[in-house]
Amino acid sequence: MTAATTSTAATPATAAPTLVIVTGMSGSGKSVALNTFEDLGFYCVDNLPANLLPDFVRSVLAADSSAPAKLAVGIDVRNRNADLANIPDWLSAVGALGFDPRLVFFESGDDVLLKRYADTRRRHPLSQLGLSLADAISLERQVLKPLRQIADAVVDTSDMNVHVLRRHVITEFGIGLDAGMSLLFESFAYRRGVPADADFVFDARALPNPHWNAILRPLSGRDAGVREYLESQPDVNLFVEHISSFLDTWLPKLQADSTRSYATVAFGCTGGRHRSVYLAERLAAHARQRGWDEVAVHHRELD
């Protein structure tokens, strides 16, 4: 991957528009994945009839010059079997329209799916056939097997909770699809440990803590009251000034000297709710202003 940089910001190369097909087993986390893609700026549609896939892409292209360059579509066993069998042809049609289609298949073990359905008490899409839950899961796995075989990526979510899955989507699919290095700004609580894959870690525990304000305590760093409080503190603004200068200097150098697709900048505080969240949001906004096109935010203790 070739990275183009200036002394202050990155200029990613132009890439083909992306279409991610989110598919897989019911209960494996497809809805979480699709919601995460939407948070990353993808134009998302769930449960699209598979035969409408090329028409959907054409309609987006025909909209106007500001048509979204990143699409994500959920397609699953609720489609007719014949339509699912034709997905390879429709993916080829999408490619002919200039999009780069990616098929991501989510799955979990049968025992995990049985437990998740028992916990949520939701009905399986194939239960309308009069099947037991175990038989419905078995039939779904059989019906979707051809899609799994042609998938660009298979994600086993058996050992993932919602937060881990969301972060996996962000780092593996959401911000690494375009050319150039992308950035993930993450907040965390030190009492739960430092994120293992963080490239830069900044400690905000020396800054004034909104936790000690009874009005601000139940809020988070995404709320206006907390933002206003922190922005009124000289030490917070000085901290942001120093970190902004550091990142403006060293992130382009990291991009120029490596082949990695993304970098993680982590901010930690005691509870991972106020200071670190505010800083991750503010520095992510700063990065976008500096020209980084692919910027995502993840709040480990909130998301």
Which residues are annotated as part of the binding site for ATP?
Answer: 24-31
Mean pLDDT of 192-218: 95
Mean pLDDT of 128-136: 90
Mean pLDDT of 190-211: 94
Q: Which residues contact 302 (CB under 8 A, 6 or more apart)?
A: 187, 220, 222, 272, 273, 277
Which residues are annotated as part of the binding site for GTP?
Answer: 76-79
Q: Which residues contact 215 (CB under 8 A, 6 or more apart)?
A: 225
Query: Which of 46, 75, 70 lies closest to 146, judged by CA?
Result: 75
The predicted structure's pLDDT at residue 262: 77
The predicted structure's pLDDT at residue 258: 60
The predicted structure's pLDDT at residue 175: 55
Domain 18-174 CATH (choose: 3.40.50.300, 3.60.21.10, 3.40.50.970, 3.40.1190.10): 3.40.50.300
Task: Spell out the domain ranges in the chain.
Answer: 18-174, 182-299
Percent share of the chain, pLDDT over 90: 54
Reported as a pLDDT band with limits 50, 70 and 90, residue 6 is very low
Is pLDDT at 236 greater than 50 in this prediction?
yes
Which residues are annotated as part of the binding site?
Answer: 24-31, 76-79
- Lowest-confidence segment of 13-27, 88-102, 206-220, 278-292 by average pLDDT: 13-27
Reported as a pLDDT band with limits 50, 70 and 90, residue 260 is low
The predicted structure's pLDDT at residue 8: 37
In sign, the C-alpha dihedral spanning 236, 242, 243, 245 is positive
- Token representation of residue 55: 């028409």
Is pLDDT at 174 greater than 70 in this prediction?
no
Tens-digit pLDDT profile for residues 107-120: 999 999 999 998 88
Is pLDDT at 7 greater than 80 in this prediction?
no
Is pLDDT at 12 greater than 50 in this prediction?
no
Query: Which of 55, 262, 293, 88 lies closest to 167, judged by CA?
Result: 262
Mean pLDDT of 127-132: 87
Tens-digit pLDDT profile for residues 154-164: 999 999 988 78
The predicted structure's pLDDT at residue 1: 32
Is pLDDT at 65 greater than 90 in this prediction?
no
Mean pLDDT of 176-190: 78
Is pLDDT at 2 greater than 60 in this prediction?
no
Q: What is the residue-wise DSSP string for the chain? A: ----B-SS-B-PPP---EEEEEEE-TTSSHHHHHHHHHHTT-EEESS--GGGHHHHHHHHHHH-TT--SEEEEE--TTS-HHHHHTHHHHHHHHHHTT-EEEEEEEE--HHHHHHHHHHH-PPPTTGGGT--HHHHHHHHHHHHHHHHHH-SEEEE-TT--HHHHHHHHIIIIISSSSSS-EEEEEEEEGGG---TT-SEEEE-TTS--GGGSTTTTTS-TTSHHHHHHHHT-HHHHHHHHHHHHHHHHHHHHHHHT---SEEEEEEEESSSSSHHHHHHHHHHHHHHHTT-S-EEEEETTT-
